[in-house]
Every structure is written in structure tokens, then in C-alpha cells.
Homo-oligomer: A and B are copies of this chain.
Amino acid sequence: MSYTIQEIAEALGAKALGAIDLKIDSVAEPAEATASQLALAMKPEFAAQIAAGQARAAMLWEGADWESLGLEAAILAPRPRFALAGLSAMMDPGQGWATGIHPSAVVDPAAELADDVSVGPLAVICAGARIGAGTVIGPHCFVGADCVIGEGGFLREGVRIGARVRIGARFTAQPGAVIGGDGFSFVTPEVSGVERARETLGDQGDVQKQSYARIHSLGSVTIGDDVEIGVNACVDRGTVRDTRIGNGTKLDNLVQVGHNVVVGNDTLLCGQVGIGGSTVIGNNVVLAGQTGVGDNLFIGDNAITGGGTKVLANIPAGRVMLGYPAMKMESQMEVYKGLRRLKRLFADVAELKKTVSNDAESN
């Protein structure tokens, strides 16, 4: 598939300049671009590399002096990273899977598939599942009993959806993602040391040996539209009601969302984030990689955490947090500065003690 510079610019709502009939078949970093590729140099610091490659056209930042870079054509975008979203969708070669239902797939006759659903080799679709128009179920995928998956979904290889999970339109799931595992919910016959330590903040009292009884997950998972779930990430079923993920929310690889959790709309959970059971997370939240959030907490809309933040208490809306335990980012930065000067502080205080004690003696 190839496109002219003009076609690309029109699709992106960007400006086409120069030889706008030039044909492009794919994109590349500037230094590696061939003559039929569009070089991506979306910040001035990448411009110098254009000369190192063979590109005749490039996507550049707004206001770039493209002719001085030796190009024959250019696409200028006011927010090039946003333009890249549309451009990458046009250029995506995809996974190359065949359409249709592969004969090796095991599709229960009581499943309802819209006419143009594709099912890959060795996938399993259980009775009562309903799958919307245009959705692609990849190789080795599993779709459980009575699941609903909306239209336009794309499940990469080996995705697993447990029974009764309901998912909206345009769902994307990366390989090995699991929706609808059982919640991790166990209870001892008598009050446990953990329950006491939580109340006392550290004292578990007299401990008895106890075994755990399992609380089954009777709820399922409800997922909105335009959600993406990363590689080997998991969202557990709720105990009584469903665990819920809102519209437009994206989970990265190896993310864990516990039972009963509610995640709002347009929220990003980055790689290896973990959310404890029954926690509520608002809209437009961004939790950076390896952030951990305890159970039964609340994180307000537009909150942000930095990488590795451990959240042990509620976070109000709009707050930017960092560290373990999570503090406002500015406060945490102050703490970090203090820690680096801590050794010096001990020395200062020791010195002061000596001086003051000498003063006292000399008085």
C-alpha cells in the first residue's frame, strides 16, 4: 500500500508542501529512511539526521524550514506526535492473519458471531458468547460462556476472556491478556493477624494458626468502549458486582487490576501497575510504571503518579504524586534533596552539640 504526500496530509489534517504527489510506502527514522519512505523528524533535534538517510520527504514540526533540509516534500503538523497516531494507523502492516473462521477453531454452535467476525486457528468460543461485527478473535484465544464483545474488536493471540465478561466496542487486547480471573479473596474463620495489624498500624496481637476459606467471585467484569489491555495483563472478576473499566482506558503490559476495582474513563495504567481490590480510580488518571495502589482506596480524576509510586492512602483529584509512600511530587523532591544532604545534617548537629556543650562549660 502506498500513499501520496497529499493523501497522507489530508488524512491527518496537516499541511502538504512541495512535491505533494510523491509516493510513500512506509515510514522510518530519518537516518534509516529510503527514498520511498517518509522520514519522521518531528522535533528540530532530529532534523540533522535527515541528510544521513535517503528520504525525499519528511513529517516535520510546524514552521520547519523543510527546503533547507534538502527535502522535495514535507508534511507539517502542529502537534506531530498526535499526527503520528493517524499516520501509524494508515501504515500499520498488521499481523497478517487470514480472515474468516479457521477450521481448527472450536466455536460452540450456541455462540453468536456477527457475519464478518474472524476467528483464528485453535481459538475456543463457548456457548452463549456474542461477538460484534468486524471483531477479530486471534489464534489460541479463549472466549468464555455468555461473554459479550462489541464490534470492531481485535484480540491478539492467546487472549482469555472468562465467562459472562461484557466488553464494549473497539476493544484491543495484546497477547496473553486475561479478563475475568477469579479475585484473590480469602478469609480466616477468626480475626487474623493482618486484620489486627491494619487496625493498629503494626501490632497483630496474639497470632493463631488458621487456614483460609475461599470467597468465590460471583461478579464478572464490565469493560467500556475503546479500551486496550496489554500483554499478560489481568483484570479480575468482582465478588458480588462486576469489576469495571471505563471508556477509553488503556492498560499496559503486566498490569493487575483486582476484584471490585472501578477504573474511570480515559485513564492510563502503565506497565506493571497493580491495583488492590475494591479501589476506585477516576477519569483521566495516569499511573506510571510499577505504581502500586492499596485496596479500598480512592484516586481522584486527573491524578498522576510518577514511576514506582506506592499509594497507601487516597489521592484527591488533580494531584501529582511520587514516591513510597506517595507524596505530592514537589514534597517528594524536597525529601529527596534532604536525603542527599542527610549525612551532612548529622555532622552539623554533632558539631552543634559539641559547640553548645563547650559553650555551656565555658559559661
B-chain residues with CB within 8 Å of residue A186 when the two chains form the complex? 85, 250, 268
Q: Is A152 an interface residue (CB 8 A)?
A: no
Q: Is A115 an interface residue (CB 8 A)?
A: no
User: What is the distance, in angstroms, from A225's C-beta to the closest C-beta of chain B?
Assistant: 10
Are A187 and B85 also in contact (CB < 8 A) when A274-B290, A320-B203 are? yes
Q: Is A193 an interface residue (CB 8 A)?
A: yes
Judge whether B271 and A204 touch: CB under 8 Å: no
B-chain residues with CB within 8 Å of residue A302 when the two chains form the complex? 193, 204, 207
Judge whether B197 and A320 touch: CB under 8 Å: yes
Can you list 26 contacts pairing A with B, beta carbon distance less than 8 Å?
A27-B240, A85-B186, A88-B214, A96-B145, A104-B106, A120-B124, A122-B124, A140-B142, A174-B181, A176-B232, A186-B268, A194-B286, A197-B320, A201-B330, A202-B322, A207-B318, A212-B248, A230-B234, A256-B272, A271-B276, A276-B289, A289-B295, A290-B292, A308-B310, A324-B324, A359-B360
> What is the chain B residue whose CB lies nearest that of A338?
B342
Are A241 and B32 also in contact (CB < 8 A) when A254-B234, A343-B334 are? yes
Instruction: Select which of B86, B292, B333, B348 is within 8 A of A353 by beta carbon.
Output: B348
Q: Scan A37-70; emit 1 where CB is below 8 A from any B CB, else 0.
A: 0001000000000000000000000000000000
Q: How distant is the Cα of A254 from the Cα of B256 in the complex, in angstroms? A: 7
Judge whether A144 and B197 touch: CB under 8 Å: no
B-chain residues with CB within 8 Å of residue A212 when the two chains form the complex? 248, 250, 266, 268
Q: Of A1-9, A14-22, A156-164, which binds chain B?
A: A156-164
B-chain residues with CB within 8 Å of residue A209 when the two chains form the complex? 266, 283-284
Q: How distant is the Cα of A204 from the Cα of B234 in the complex, in angstroms? A: 30
Q: How distant is the Cα of A214 from the Cα of B212 in the complex, in angstroms? A: 39
Judge whether B82 and A106 touch: CB under 8 Å: no
Q: Scan A65-95; emit 1 where CB is below 8 A from any B CB, else 0.
A: 0000000000000010110111011011111
B-chain residues with CB within 8 Å of residue A310 when the two chains form the complex? 290, 307-308
B-chain residues with CB within 8 Å of residue A218 when the two chains form the complex? 26-27, 88, 91-93
Q: Scan A277-306; emit 1 where CB is below 8 A from any B CB, else 0.
A: 000000110101110101100000010101
Identify which of residues 239-257 in chain A touch chain B, using a CB-to-CB cut-off of 8 Å: 239-241, 248, 250, 252-254, 256
Judge whether B342 and A334 touch: CB under 8 Å: yes
Judge whether B204 and A304 touch: CB under 8 Å: yes
B-chain residues with CB within 8 Å of residue A124 when the two chains form the complex? 120-122, 139-140, 157
B-chain residues with CB within 8 Å of residue A160 when the two chains form the complex? 140, 157-158, 175-176
Judge whether A336 and B325 touch: CB under 8 Å: yes
Q: Is A331 an interface residue (CB 8 A)?
A: yes
Judge whether B271 and A272 touch: CB under 8 Å: no
Q: Scan A159-180; emit 1 where CB is below 8 A from any B CB, else 0.
A: 0101110000000101110101
4 A-B pairs with the lowest CB-CB distances in the bound complex, closest first: A96-B145, A202-B329, A85-B213, A308-B310
User: What is the distance, in angstroms, from A302's C-beta to the closest C-beta of chain B?
Assistant: 5
Judge whether A158 and B158 touch: CB under 8 Å: yes
Q: How distant is the Cα of A270 from the Cα of B102 in the complex, in angstroms? A: 38
Instruction: Select which of B28, B128, B184, B355 is within 8 A of A250 by beta carbon.
Output: B184
Instruction: Select which of B236, B241, B359 is within 8 A of A253 by beta carbon.
Output: B236
